Structure 1
Amino acid sequence: MKFNKRWSVGLLSVVALISLSACTEDQTKPASTSNEAAEEMDHSTMNHSSSGEVPVTLKKAENPKFPIGSTAIITDGHMEGMKGAEATIVGAYTTTAYVISYEPTSGGKRIEKHKWVIHEELIDPQEAPLAPGTEVKTDATHMEGMENATVLIDEAVQTTVYMVDYTSTTSGEAVTNHKWVTEEELSPK
């Protein structure tokens, strides 16, 4: 009788242990960060290259950390093939850059936390910086359905923004006049 009781207690302990381990969360996986979420965002409708035209009210940076013609490494990838690419600086401007969310005017799913739209690409905005939660329209054309969309300001950063040329690290595609990369997203070569 004692043997059966011990065996039953042992078996019950093993079953309880297996049940508990099946209910626990896998602690070996790192939590997703906002940068990873941004990297996972679908940018297939993004205009990677642009004409290089900038708003007339945009002010050139007087003493940018990365002068026009210099090279730097892109440390944050808003889209595939950007992170780790060598960038040539083609423009440097002092402004407020925004992370935005919006419903594309062309339809489709809501775009969350798009980087970056600058203050000069907003239609009739109040004085910069706009507070998170502010809604305003944009005339930016970085992505299909962005022009004339009502956007929600998620974050505002007063910084130097750069227009850059680079070659995608994944496709080998040459990207020219890409708008925008912030100073914090570049490191010296």
Structure 2
Amino acid sequence: MLFVLLTALLLLLGACSNANEENTENSESTDTENTEETKDNMEGMDHSNMDMSGSGEIPEDLEEAASPTYEVGSKAIIESDHMPGMNGAEATIAGAYDTTVYTISYTPTTGGERVEDHKWVIHEELEGAGEEPFKPGEEVTVNAEHMEGMDGATAEVDSAEQTIVYMVDFTTTTDSKEVKNHKWVTESELSPAE
């Protein structure tokens, strides 16, 4: 009788052990997949919820660039990977503006993980923007909806640069999706189209 009970107990413990090993393997597999997905999202930031196309509306006080390198209507190659399908795409310049561009970090108003070093918001898209540009480390409120949960978010300025920014139209290199009035690409992120 003791032998039967001992055998039953060992079988039960063995079954539990196998279930735990399977759960551990499933957990490790999921963790690996999540890590790879996170890595993919971190390369050039996660823009899965970014509105690539825009209305073409610009802030009232944004000034057109007097002598941009890339004139409105001209072609240029995007040398930036803000999102999949952008790098290497041929763009048509839809607008060129003199401003200060910022990279910012913020927590979306809709919840979720903090977005680090988002490129780009412009001076005119920040609440209370005066004549002087904001400095790295300053806290600002964003008045732009480039990504879900961005509008109204409190952000920290990571970097600031006075330059010309472009609004561009392009077709993604990954899935041939047409993007209209994409905001923003800086002058240094464009190269001449051949």
Same fold (TM over 0.5): yes
Shift of 1:125: 2.7
The equivalent of 1:73 in structure 2 is: 77
SS at match of 2:43: helix
- Count of matched residue pairs: 154
> Where does structure 1 lack aligned partners over 5 or more consecutive residues?
1-35
Shift of 1:126: 4.4
Shift of 1:130: 1.2
- How far does the alpha carbon of each residue in 1:151-170 deviate from its partner, in whole angstroms, 9 at most, with x for none? 10000010000000000001
In 2, Cα distance between equivalents of 1:126 and 1:149: 19
Percent identity between the two aligned chains: 59
In 1, Cα distance between equivalents of 2:42 and 2:78: 15
Q: TM-score, normalised by structure 1?
A: 0.79
In 2, Cα distance between equivalents of 1:152 and 1:126: 17
SS at match of 1:123: coil
Shift of 1:39: 3.3
SS at match of 1:184: helix
SS at match of 1:44: coil
Are 1:119 and 1:128, in contact at CA under 8 Å, matched by a contact in 2? no
Structure 1's consecutive aligned runs of 4 or more residues displaced over 6 angstroms after TM superposition are: none
Shift of 1:42: 1.1
The equivalent of 2:145 in structure 1 is: 141
1:39 to 43, 61, 72: 43
In 2, Cα distance between equivalents of 1:46 and 1:108: 14
Amino acid at match of 2:135: A
**Range with bigger deviation, 122-131 or 88-97:** 122-131
Structure 1 residue 163 corresponds to structure 2 residue 167: yes
Are 1:162 and 1:180, in contact at CA under 8 Å, matched by a contact in 2? yes
In 2, Cα distance between equivalents of 1:131 and 1:181: 20
Are 2:103 and 2:117, in contact at CA under 8 Å, matched by a contact in 1? yes
The equivalent of 2:128 in structure 1 is: 124
Shift of 1:145: 0.2
Shift of 1:149: 0.4
- The alpha-carbon distance between structure 1 residues 38 and 84, as it changes in their structure 2 partners (threshold 3 A), is farther
- What is the Cα-based RMSD across aligned positions, in Å? 1.4
In 1, Cα distance between equivalents of 2:169 and 2:61: 22
In 2, Cα distance between equivalents of 1:96 and 1:50: 20
Structure showing the higher helix proportion among its residues: 2
SS at match of 2:88: coil
- How far does the alpha carbon of each residue in 1:132-178 deviate from its partner, in whole angstroms, 9 at most, with x for none? 00001011110000000001000001000000000000111000000
Q: TM-score, normalised by structure 2?
A: 0.77
> Where does structure 2 lack aligned partners over 5 or more consecutive residues?
1-39
In 2, Cα distance between equivalents of 1:97 and 1:39: 21
The equivalent of 1:10 in structure 2 is: none
